[in-house]
Amino acid sequence: MKKQQESIFCKKCLYSTSHPLGLVLDSNGICTGCRVHEEKYELDWKYRFEILKKITKEYKSKNQKNYDCIIPVSGGAESYWVVHVVKNLLGLNPLLVTYNKYYNTDIGIWNLANLRIKFDCDILFQNVDPRKVKKITKQTFREFGSLYWHCIAGQTNFPVQTAIDFKVPLIIWGGHQGVEQVGMFSHLHEVEMSRRYRKDHDIMSIEADNLLSGESTLNEDDIWQYRYPEDHDLNKIGVRGIYLSNFLPWDPKVQDEKMIKQYNFRTTKLSRTFDTYEHVDCFNYMNVHDLLKLNKHGFSKVTDHACREIRHKRITRIDAEKLVKHYEQKEIEYSDIFLEWLGIDKTVFTFLLDRHKNNKYWELLDWDTKEWKFKGLSYLRRPKKETFNNKTINLIEKKNKFISTHKYRNDKNYITIGRGYP
């Protein structure tokens, strides 16, 4: 058998050279993500904010007859921060756009409504026919182990299409994942939204048209809304998408807590991570989707959260490791709602989850009982699970507290907005 490429870990955070976005270690064993993070303490952020002001000023609508920019939003925490910066600090009049991902929680819908009211902004919803969304999701779940393809493809496409339709060329995004997680670019590169990055990293190299090939049950009519606009149309309007994280020292925890305080952004405790701010608007992101991430990549979202907190110097590497080991194997929640929504049974669901287990990180111990052994990335690091307990976890979480303001009131079905069910 061919020997799997070895994962070498960063000496500072918990990421390794197996990170799917790509990551490099320097001669001191520190990863590019950690190195680029250090820029947050080194760059002149006042100056960088002036650059942002200058860029955005040029897009201010003359005679107030149109919006100044577009902001893609969800019922998650980052949306509040971006709208706050754009509206209050940059003085722009944004059009908010949101792609209805259908896996909506009541907290997410409340957050979205509250966002629109508190900031007094217009908002556009894209509600793709749910029958199409389900057809697409059945296929991407089966073939690529992804129930999030339509969400990502929709969230990265709808704002761009709206920019063209409304002739509002500037799109303002929040954090750039490639910069934040693995230091793919320096903040100084001021990297902007691109068709290439979207394809390679956001949508796993699967363009809408790729879904039509092979044994697909989809047709043209099912996928056209996920097709990225042509260069010709983008260039005609001069569409560009910038990331605020290149111009402000990006710190999600601090930003989100300001939003809780100032605008009553609602948060909740999720079962598979300690971060109570991100993805509270979705039943699946931190559950089925997170388990699929673990199956495929050998680590889950709690590792991302832990790395971020290490870099911001709020937890130690050893405590971060304990948090990861505590949360990573927790049971997923709300899969029953997903099965009902998608119309598949539990056997198929379990079969598909197992099918996407990467044999680099999972070993099938017993074919009949389907007992698996996890040998993912945290398994290769210390400490072993036996060296800590729930009390240890509580103490770590007390030292670096994440506020949980609410519980889901409805956990029986997705909250429908817009077109909802046919």
Shortest Å, Cβ 6 to Zn ion: 17
Token representation of residue 280: 């509270």
Residues 69 and 122: their CA atoms lie apart, in Å, by: 12
* Binds Zn ion by CB under 5 A, chosen from 31, 69, 172, 184: 31
Cβ of residue 27: shortest distance to Zn ion, in angstroms? Answer: 14
**Closest Cα partner for 74 from 30, 26, 36, 107?**
107
Which stretch in 24-32, 46-54, 63-71, 386-394 sits in contact with Zn ion by CB under 5 A? 24-32
Residue nearest Zn ion, Cβ-based: 10
CB nearer to Zn ion: pick between 12 and 301: 12
Backbone angles phi, psi at 72, to 5 degrees: -75, 130
Size of the site for Zn ion (CB under 5 A): 6
> Shortest Cβ distance from residue 40 to Zn ion (Å)?
14
Between 34 and 97, CB nearer to Zn ion: 34
Residue type present at position 315: I
Binding mask 104-143 for Zn ion (x = CB under 5 A): ----------------------------------------
- Min CB(181)–Zn ion separation in Å: 10
Closest-CA residue to 277 (of 254, 299, 247): 254
CB of 13 or CB of 332, closer to Zn ion: 13
Edge to edge, the sheet with strand 69-72 lists: 122-126, 94-99, 69-72, 170-173, 240-243
Instruction: Report the residue from 25, 34, 85, 121 that binds Zn ion according to the rule CB under 5 A.
Output: 34
CB of 301 to Zn ion, least distance (A): 17
Nearer to Zn ion, 12 or 48 (CB): 12
Residue 138's CB is within 10 A of a number of other CB atoms, namely 18
- Which residue matches tokens 């790509």? 22
Q: Which range touches Zn ion (CB under 5 A), out of 29-37, 71-79, 118-126, 188-196?
A: 29-37
> Could you give the C-alpha distances from 199 to 158, 213, 421, in angstroms and in order?
15, 17, 29
**Alpha-carbon gap, residue 195 to 156, rounded angstroms:** 10
- Please give the Cα distance from 351 to 356 (Å, whole number): 9
Please, which residue, 218 or 380, has the CB nearer to Zn ion? 380
Provide, rounded to whole angstroms, the least separation between the CB of residue 178 and Zn ion: 14
Nearest to 285 by CA among 63, 142, 154, 102: 102
Beta carbon of residue 376, minimum distance to Zn ion (angstroms, whole number): 18
| 7: nearest Cα among 258, 376, 279 | 376
Q: Which of residues 3-22 bind Zn ion (CB under 5 A)?
A: 10, 12-13
Q: What span, in angstroms and rounded, lies between the C-alpha atoms of 93 and 70?
A: 9
Please report how close the Cβ of residue 25 comes to Zn ion at its closest, in angstroms: 8
Cβ proximity to Zn ion, 13 vs 136, nearer residue: 13
Residue 250, both tokens: 């990006």
Structure tokens at 311: 């870099």
Could you tell me which stretch among 27-35, 246-254, 280-288, 391-399 binds Zn ion (CB under 5 A)? 27-35
Give the interface with Zn ion as residue ranges (CB under 5 A): 10, 12-13, 31, 33-34
